[in-house]
Amino acid sequence: MTGTWQLVRLALRRDRILLPVWVLFLAGVTYSTTTALEELYNTQQSRDLLGATANANSAFLAMLGPLHDWSSLGGLVVWRWGVFSGLFIAIMAMLVVTRHTRAEEEAGRTELVAATVVGRHAPLAAAVIVAGGTSLLIGLLQALALTGKGLAPAGAFAFGLSTASVGLVFTGVSALTAQLSENSRVSNAIAGGFLGVTYLLRAAGDAAGESGPQWLTWFSPIGWTEHVRSFADNRFWVLLLPLAAFVLLVGVSSYIVTRRDVGLGLLPARLGPPHSTISTPFGLAWRLQKGSLIGWSIALFAVGVIYGSVAQAVGQMVQDNPTLGQIVSKIGGADAMVDAFFATVTQLIGLIASIYLVQAILRLRSEETSFRAEPILATPVSRWSWVASHVVFALVGGAVVLAASGLGLGLVYGLQIDDLGTVVPQMLGAALAQLPAAWVIAGVALVLFGLFPQLTGVSWAVVSASLVITLLGPALQLDQWVIDVSPFTHVPKYPDITFGPLAWLTVVAVVLLAAGFAGFRRRDLTT
């Protein structure tokens, strides 16, 4: 452990901008969400109606979880923001741990540091301290934000600790995945896949209702935050589960790190073919991108299946709730509710798919900073063809993963209502309508890569901002010009899909991509 605190200081210095942004963002959204919900549901009658609606709607349950206490403002905040807050903290922890462990080994810097007076466990310990400490700081500030709004301190700290516990668990998960693979991208992919599985387990358990397998939520760290029941029962004992998982995962990672060589992973790297089979930049891009494309396609197909399976319950909810039925009849009846559900789900899927597009674009930067791009561009391969080979996988691959999600939605819901021939094309169209907005996000990432390569990490801030603005902008009562910043705001809602806004989004994406291409052709490589 010698040198741990020096490495902690180094990590904090390197992330002196990134970590404060995460902390202020998550604490600020917690405070603004509380303020917005206080204004939206300022009467007990409105809260009672929301409670009856939310807990009877499988769609709400799958996306946000159960509303345990709708009589208090704190209960509304936990329901509206708890799941997403846990997801964001988990992503932050994963990225920080991988950045300061596996990525450092991959770049060769860990070997140089290890040659000094630094213990073998120090790099891992420093990454765990930074990621885990940041998670706890975010949870503390969230609790203080809720307390500052006059909410019960016990519930506020139960909520803050529950969301911070998700960060602790995924700090441990990333510490373990960093020992498995030689590549930081694969390490993040494994940890991200586990995060996706835990989210789907929680969604399936919550949407199942009292007669279904609600026990699935106990297998999800995100589900554990719901079982704390902040502002309702405040079951602090549930927090022992993520704490035990954190200690176990970090302990196993610490054991593995001393029993493998620096730079190598526990799982051996798969050797390529003995003779070269790659003759074009597109062939190389396919070799590098295909695993991610296949994984994302399978994951979003599964998401489509999950949400498609609960769509029928949206219409049934209207029949089971006469009061809600009277309200819904004014906006078109149960069919309008189902359409609104699919509009929300496809928008959420589009936002998730934009993460894949940014990941595919930023592979260019990782190839450059790992000094693999320079030898390729020293051959007759042009800069244009090298960049285009990866951009194609972002643009076309985005269509593939969105089509996979639409297929999952359409197949399951079409089988439920016995109308596959109509539903499947509709769901494919609704999912693919999100593609131009995702292309705009990819265009921003390419502009940063081409013109401002040191700022490519800002691409993830763009994705996060789009997610928050699109999903929480109306609830937070943001100004319309702020909401319009997200390209997904301009995508026509299902089923009233028109091509005019999609064409304009496509034009914007083309302009951004062209600027990114032009910028890269005129700048120096990182050497």
Convert the pLDDT of each residue in 65-87 to its tens digit: 888 888 888 888 888 888 888 98
Q: Is there a single domain that holds both residue 210 and residue 287?
A: no
Beta strand segments in 320-473, E: none
pLDDT at 173: 94
Same domain, 242 and 316: no
Same domain, 247 and 377: no
Asked whether residue 227 falls in the same domain as residue 295, the answer is no
Residue 456 has pLDDT above 70, yes or no: yes
| Band of pLDDT at residue 330, cut at 50, 70 and 90 | very low
- Is the distance from CB of 400 to CB of 410 less than 8 angstroms? no
258 and 335 part of one domain: no
**Tokens 């029962």 -> residue:** 233
How far, in Å, CA of 311 to CA of 322, rounded?
Answer: 19
How far is Cα 112 from Cα 295, in angstroms, rounded to an integer? 34
Rounded-to-integer distance, Cα 284 and Cα 292, Å: 14
Residue of 497, 501, 499 lying closest to 484 (CA atoms): 501
What spatial distance separates the first Cα and last Cα of the chain, rounded to whole Å? 33
pLDDT beyond 60 at 144? yes
| Res. 465: pLDDT tops 80 | yes
Three-state SS for 30? helix
User: Is residue 257 located within the same domain as residue 315?
Assistant: no
**Count of domains observed in the chain:** 2
Same structural domain for residues 223 and 174? yes
Residues 233 and 339 in one domain: no
| pLDDT tier for residue 137 given thresholds of 50, 70 and 90 | very high
Same domain, 239 and 308: no
211/102 same-domain check: yes
Predicted pLDDT of residue 312: 67
Residue 438: is its pLDDT beyond 50? yes
| Domain range enclosing 93 | 1-267
Residue 204: what pLDDT?
A: 78
Q: Tell me how far apart the alpha carbons of residues 437 and 487 are, in angstroms, rounded to a whole number.
A: 5
Residue scoring higher pLDDT (118 or 62): 118
Could you tell me the two tokens for 218?
């106990």
Q: Are residues 313 and 435 in the same domain?
A: yes
pLDDT band at 236 (very low <50, low <70, confident <90, very high): very high
Tokens of 95: 């990225």
In the numeric block, the tokens 């279904």 are attached to 212
pTM: 0.79
Taken in order 100, 101, 107, 110, the sign of the CA dihedral is positive
Res. 414 pLDDT band, cuts 50 70 90? confident
Q: Please check whether residues 312 and 174 belong to one and the same domain.
A: no
Q: What mean pLDDT comes out for the span 188-203?
A: 84
